[in-house]
């Protein structure tokens, strides 16, 4: 069970690396539901858990999306725990109620939580049984978003991995490209136009906009990650024969260019065509970043562990915006998915995997960086101590990948600093 959280520190980064154990301050994997349900528009996520789970999701979502949501919690009560009610029968009842209520749903995910894992409620078996009952109406499967097994963005990895076995086999002799990890619709559309221009066809985004949008996988599949938190799914697809393309993540002008170049190389696209296709969006991205970078250049930034986007963000900010990296905290460090990133980090930057909150906060206080990237619960606390912050959940919620979002990405970091320079009230220092 612990394999998700435990991982080995990468050997590819020449700089100092440490591991910390102690109090963590990160969301659990259930938080992934917030962007997954926006991405997969006909899927419903039913958390089997406690009132805490329901409260967490609604608080993390900031009650922003208050239409009838495509997620809910089946809250375990004392009767369920005491064995007075059969959990599987209860789940059966709740799922039937839900399916009647929401007829447009094509995929139902049962999502495991800390309490359901601790009482060893077997949601996979439950999903299989429910599937038999609701055959032809809705596909039902299960994954765990529990905080004892996953942190924050790892929920998406578990979700994708759970459907990996359902992916149809790619007939031999055929080839396709799977782009792994949630990107927003607008990013998908931009990427598709570039793939078309590069002459790369049969491209699948996974997860797609529809739940049954499942790519075929086999020997002819090339796999590239668009998000850094999909390591287990990458491994599952490699096992089914897919070839992974090592690339930095498509963040910033350079990151996006390298990402498309690595894919083009794997496809043997003619170099002139690659340069011709990428030149225009690349230059546009450079220009967009330039405006923001002027405000960021020479500033020191510190990452507290949160979304697993810390390493690629640090790479983008040091490489393209001229920031100095004080420390990169990351909840876990997956060597396989970070392979394209590490070599581009400044060689002396310190990577800290895991977390021990209070000592970590003390390091921030001591270093007094110009900007700290951290979770929402910590941001205002640091601001009140005179430290500028960028809360990291926005990096997951907003479209930041690709050439045409590179300027937006830089501006997410520039905005707190601009704000400091324009406000004539109060003081941050």
Q: What is the spatial distance between Cα 297 and Cα 12, in angstroms, rounded to a whole number?
A: 27
Specify the residue, 78 or 366, whose C-beta has the smaller distance to another protein.
Answer: 78
Among 35, 40, 80, 220, binds another protein (CB under 8 A): 80
Q: Is the alpha carbon torsion for 396, 399, 405, 408 positive or negative?
A: negative
90 part of the interface to another protein, by CB under 8 A:
yes
Select 87 or 317, whichever has its Cβ closest to another protein. 87
Closer residue to another protein, CB minimum distance, 62 or 168: 62
Which of 112, 243, 89, 188 shows the shortest CA–CA distance to 402?
188
| Contact present, 320 and 253 (Cβ < 8 Å) | yes
Does 429 bind another protein (CB under 8 A)? Our answer is no
CB of 334 or CB of 341, closer to another protein:
334
Asked if 426 interacts with another protein (CB under 8 A), we say: no
> Which secondary structure element, helix H or strand E, spans residue 404, and what is its range?
none
Tokens 């400044």 found at: 346
The CA distance from 407 to 180, in Å, is 23
The nearest distance, CB 348 to another protein, in angstroms, is: 30
SS (H, E, C) 315-348: HHHHHHCCCEEEEEEECCCCHHHHHHHHCCCCCC
Shortest spacing between CB 228 and another protein, in angstroms: 19
Among 207, 250, 375, 416, binds another protein (CB under 8 A): 375
How far is the C-alpha of 375 from the C-alpha of 195, rounded, in Å? 34
DSSP state of 31: G
What strands, in cross-sheet order, belong to the sheet with 243-244? Answer: 203-206, 176-180, 221-225, 243-244
Q: Of 67, 84, 165, 425, which one interacts with another protein (CB under 8 A)?
A: 67
Least distance between another protein and beta carbon 280 (Å): 37
Q: Do the beta carbons of residue 376 and residue 391 sit within 8 Å?
A: yes
Which residue in 119, 183, 109 sits closest to 145, CA to CA? 109
Coil, helix or strand for 160? Answer: helix
d(CA 52, CA 373): 26
Point out which residues pair with 144 in neighbouring strands: 112
DSSP reduced 3-state for 48: strand
* Residues 33, 156: Cα–Cα separation, whole Å: 8
Closer to another protein by Cβ: residue 146 or 227: 146
Contact pick of 33, 40, 99, 114 for another protein (by CB under 8 A)? 114
Instruction: Give the range of 89-97, 249-257, 278-286, 401-409 binding another protein by CB under 8 A.
Output: 89-97
State which residue, 56 or 177, has the beta carbon closest to another protein. 56
**Interface residue with another protein, options 214, 216, 336, 376 (CB under 8 A):** 376
420 interacts with another protein by CB under 8 A = no
Of 10, 28, 211, 226, the residue at the interface with another protein (CB under 8 A) is 28
Cα atoms in the Cβ-side hemisphere of radius 13 Å centred on 60: 24
Nearer to another protein, 78 or 348 (CB): 78
Residue pair 121/110 in contact (Cβ under 8 Å)? The answer is: no
In whole angstroms, the minimum distance from the beta carbon of 163 to another protein comes to: 22
Q: Can you tell me which of 17, 19, 41, 58 binds another protein, judged by CB under 8 A?
A: 58
- Residue from 11, 63, 425, 427 binding another protein (CB under 8 A): 63
Residue 380 binds another protein, judged by CB under 8 A? yes
Q: Closer CB to another protein, residue 62 or residue 322?
A: 62
User: 130 CB contacts (<8 Å, ≥6 apart)?
Assistant: 91, 92, 95, 108, 110, 140
Using the contact rule CB under 8 A, the part of the chain among 51-59, 172-180, 247-255, 313-321 near another protein is: 51-59
Minimum distance between the CB of residue 399 and another protein, rounded to whole angstroms? 23
Q: Does 336 help bind another protein (rule: CB under 8 A)?
A: no
Q: Does 115 bind another protein (CB under 8 A)?
A: yes
Nearest distance from C-beta of residue 178 to another protein, angstroms = 29
**Residues in touch with another protein (CB under 8 A):** 1-2, 5-6, 22-31, 48, 50-56, 58-60, 62-63, 66-69, 72-78, 80-81, 85, 87, 90-91, 93-94, 97-98, 114-115, 117-119, 146-149, 151, 358, 375-381, 383-384
């Amino acid at each position: 069970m612990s394999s998700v959280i435990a991982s080995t520190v990468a050997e590819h980064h020449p700089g100092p690396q440490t591991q910390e154990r102690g109090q963590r301050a990160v969301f659990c994997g259930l938080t992934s539901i917030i962007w997954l349900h926006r991405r997969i528009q006909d899927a419903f996520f039913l958390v089997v858990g406690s009132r805490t789970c329901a409260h967490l999701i609604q608080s993390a979502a900031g009650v922003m999306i208050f239409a009838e949501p495509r997620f809910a919690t089946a809250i375990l009560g004392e009767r369920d725990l005491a064995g007075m009610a059969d959990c599987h029968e209860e789940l059966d009842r709740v799922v039937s109620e839900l399916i009647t209520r929401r007829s447009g749903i094509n995929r139902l995910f049962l999502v495991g939580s800390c309490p359901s894992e601790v009482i060893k409620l077997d949601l996979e078996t439950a999903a299989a049984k429910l599937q038999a009952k609701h055959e032809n109406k809705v596909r039902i499967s299960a994954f765990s978003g529990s905080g004892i097994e996953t942190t924050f963005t790892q929920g998406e990895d578990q979700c994708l991995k759970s459907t990996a076995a359902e992916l149809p086999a790619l007939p031999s002799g055929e080839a396709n490209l799977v782009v792994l990890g949630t990107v927003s619709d607008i990013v998908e559309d931009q990427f598709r136009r570039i793939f078309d221009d590069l002459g790369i066809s049969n491209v699948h985004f996974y997860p797609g906009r529809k739940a049954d949008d499942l790519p075929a996988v086999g020997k002819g599949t090339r796999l590239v990650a668009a998000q850094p938190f999909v390591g287990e799914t990458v491994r599952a697809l490699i096992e089914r024969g897919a070839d992974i393309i090592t690339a930095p993540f498509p963040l910033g002008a350079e990151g996006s260019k390298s990402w498309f170049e690595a894919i083009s190389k794997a496809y043997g696209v003619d170099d002139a065509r690659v340069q011709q296709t990428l030149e225009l969006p690349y230059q546009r991205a450079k220009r967009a970043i330039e405006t923001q970078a002027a405000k960021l250049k020479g500033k020191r930034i510190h990452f507290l562990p949160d979304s697993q986007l810390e390493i690629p963000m640090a790479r983008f900010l040091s490489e393209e915006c001229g920031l100095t990296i004080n420390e990169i905290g990351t909840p876990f460090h997956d060597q396989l998915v970070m392979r394209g990133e590490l070599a581009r980090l400044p060689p002396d930057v310190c990577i800290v995997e895991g977390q021990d909150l209070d000592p970590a906060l003390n390091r921030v206080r001591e270093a007094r960086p110009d900007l700290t990237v951290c979770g929402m619960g910590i941001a205002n606390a640091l601001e009140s101590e005179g430290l500028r912050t960028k809360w990291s959940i926005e990096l997951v919620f907003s479209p930041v990948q690709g050439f045409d979002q590179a300027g937006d990405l830089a501006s997410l970091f520039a905005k707190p600093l601009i704000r400091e320079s324009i406000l004539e009230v109060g003081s941050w220092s």
